[in-house]
Amino acid sequence: MPIILPPGFETERLVLREAVAADAAAIFAEYASDPEVTRFLSFPTHRSVADAEAFLATCEAARKAGRSNTYVLTRRSDGAVLGVIDLRIETPFRLGFGYVLGRRHWGQGLMPEALAASVRWGAGQAEIWRMWAFCDVANVASARTMEKAGLRFEGVLRRWIVHPNLGPEPRDCRAYAWVREP
């Protein structure tokens, strides 16, 4: 059976739904234009809503192709868009995560809550054997997020990826994973 990603998730405080083109303005304003938020991310800080629109078009194409699904984290009480989490089908047995939250929502455990729900879902899919994510070695909050969501530290990937807002050189990253035990 191929991995089929769900249309959404619900947690105690959040509703995760598929990102749509109409989310561009919120994504731009909430996190993608904030250099403090994008410091450790793999894309340059957005300069206009058009950058967010281009991002969402890429997400939509990947979703249609069955490669990944990008969910917006919305607040259960009022539907406000707080951030995004990406589930990527990297191989028929492996899922990768990426995530980001608007700065004013940091420190409330919201992303660990969203990531833990994704990990719980994946653990219930027999075809998934590995779920993982990585973060820049300097991104302490992201490392902690993965630990709190039940991923385990595996090691450092030397010179793994360029984080363009930090400079042109590939950076060392910490890898965290959940694996299905035999």
Show contacts with ligand COA in window 129-148 (CB under 6 A): 135, 139-142, 144-145, 148
Query: Taking CB under 6 A as the rule, does residue 75 contact ligand COA?
Result: no
How far is residue 131 CA from its own chain's centroid? 12
Is position 97 an interface residue for ligand COA (rule: CB under 6 A)? no
Q: What is the x/- site pattern for ligand COA, positions 32-51, by CB under 6 A?
A: -----x--xx----------
Nearer to ligand COA, 4 or 104 (CB): 104
- Give the DSSP letter string of 87-142: EEEEETTEEEEEEEE-GGGTTSSHHHHHHHHHHHHHHT-TT--EEEEEEETT-HHH
CB of 72 to ligand COA, least distance (A): 13
Q: Which is nearer to ligand COA, 4 or 152 (CB)?
A: 152
**Rounded Cα gap, residues 160 and 57, in angstroms:** 26
Sign of the torsion angle spanned by Cα atoms 56, 33, 36, 82 = negative
Q: How far is the CB of 169 from ligand COA (least distance, A)?
A: 17
Q: How far apart are CA 139 and CA 111, in angstroms?
A: 14
Residues that bind ligand COA (CB under 6 A): 37, 40-41, 99-101, 106-112, 135, 139-142, 144-145, 148
